[in-house]
Structure 1
Amino acid sequence: MDFKSKIRSILDFPKKGINFRDITTVLKDKEAFHECIKQMADHLRDKNIDIIVGPEARGFLIGAPLAYELGVGFVPVRKPGKLPSEIVSFEYELEYGTDKLEMHKDAIEKGQRVAIIDDLLATGGTALSTCKMVEQLGGEVASVGFFIELEDINGRKILEDYDVFSIVKFS
């Protein structure tokens, strides 16, 4: 499937100089959405995944149906203050400042094989932070997957210790 033709590009969003890759056009297209999940599932089928972890918010949109397709559970990673139980957190650097992600402390069991799934790989900061929390809880990051990868930003570099895959690449 030609996913690139189905992904809407919005220039100068959310700020000047950014070419935003909008996946809502894929999500509303039943064939494209199904094929996206199928291709991601095909990559993970032989990796003995126990659970999928997806960062807020678009990681939920890809990760939850992928978990369903693979017959495994799903764990959301949230921004601060959104989870009601005991949490682990990871603070990471942005270009101008820091950000923080949180996960329930009981979300991952020691030794579980985890796939971290998000919609887009840019700098890799969100994915790396999620990997670190999974490892802090005793999980094994078996794969880190994205629907879209922005190759020119080179987020793969900070994830070089992990099995990283993407379905659609933009240069």
Structure 2
Amino acid sequence: MIDQLQQVAKRDDDLDIPFRSWKNHPAAGVDFPDLSIATSDPTLTRPIVDALASRIPAKIDVLAGLDIGGLGLAGALAYRNGLGFIDIRKVDSLRNEVMRSIMANYELGEGVVISKGARLAGRHVAIVDDCLISGGTALATARLIRRLGGHCDTALFVFDIEGMGGRERLAGGGITAEVLRSLPPTAADPAEAV
């Protein structure tokens, strides 16, 4: 088993995950890795999805894709692994007039919402997103899933940004963060940045 895990880790280290950086986003001195360069190419997307799939614990029933970068990844992973899928929306990504009209259909958490149609009680849910920064959205999602009776102790990310405290914050909330690649806070190559 340890040999298999080391092989997965080696494959992840060898995995080419192209991205471009959004300079100074979400804050000054932090560059967000935009994964759309990779996800728009199926030859690059499949290895990323396969690497994430190898990190999903066997007990997982449902994947929760975080708005917006985790939605497509979670959908692809759910289809690949025969799992359920729910979308998690960030409240600040919804316009006020939209929020007022749909709130009757959503469970509200700490800055995130889940459709009231999601049946989570007693189910094991893993969170999926493109990048772990502070861990705030993933932790709020886990708390809401737990409040609705689901079990949530795993989160999957393509990237995490070093030194932002995301892994530690999630660990403090009882969540294991599985990450394919850690990146420094700023882009190594300014030519990649936008």
TM-score by length of 2: 0.75
- Give runs of aligned pairs for residues 64-103 of structure 1, distance below 5 A: 64-80=75-91, 81=99, 83=102, 86-91=105-110, 100-103=111-114
Identity %: 27
CA positional deviation for 1:55: 1.4
Q: Which has the higher contact order (CA 8 A, sep 6+)?
A: 2
Q: 1:135 aligns with which of 140, 146, 160?
A: 146
Counterpart of 2:45, as a letter, is F
Counterpart of 1:59, as a letter, is G
Greater helix share, structure number: 2
Query: In structure 2, what is the Cα distance between the partners aligned to 1:69 and 1:162?
Result: 23
Largest Rg, 1 or 2? 2
**Partner SS state of residue 153, structure 1:** coil
Query: In structure 2, what is the Cα distance between the partners aligned to 1:85 and 1:64?
Result: 25
- Change beyond 3 A, Cα 1:58–1:48: same
CA positional deviation for 1:24: 0.7
Correspondence 1:41 to 2:71: no
Counterpart of 1:89, as a letter, is L
Correspondence 1:168 to 2:191: no
Any unmatched runs of 5+ in structure 2? 1-13, 92-98, 185-194
CA positional deviation for 1:16: 4.5
Between the two proteins, the alignment pairs up a number of residues equal to: 161
**Partner SS state of residue 117, structure 1:** strand
Query: In structure 2, what is the Cα distance between the partners aligned to 1:30 and 1:55?
Result: 21
- Change beyond 3 A, Cα 1:143–1:14: closer
Query: In structure 1, what is the Cα distance between the partners aligned to 2:123 and 2:155?
Result: 14
What CA deviation, in whole Å up to 9, does each residue of 1:7-61 have, x standing for no partner?
Answer: 22243346653312110111122222100100111111x4221111111111102
Deviates more, 1:58-67 or 1:106-115: 106-115
- Change beyond 3 A, Cα 1:36–1:129: same
CA positional deviation for 1:86: 2.8
Q: 1:151 aligns with which of 151, 162, 187?
A: 162
Deviates more, 1:56-65 or 1:115-124: 56-65
Deviates more, 1:127-136 or 1:20-29: 20-29
Correspondence 1:7 to 2:16: no
Q: 2:118 aligns with which of 107, 119, 125?
A: 107
Correspondence 1:30 to 2:42: yes
Any unmatched runs of 5+ in structure 1? 92-99
Counterpart of 1:12, as a letter, is N
Q: Is the 8 A contact 1:83 1:104 kept in 2?
A: no
Q: Is the 8 A contact 2:142 2:153 kept in 1?
A: no
Query: In structure 2, what is the Cα distance between the partners aligned to 1:40 and 1:83?
Result: 32
Q: 1:19 aligns with which of 31, 49, 54?
A: 31
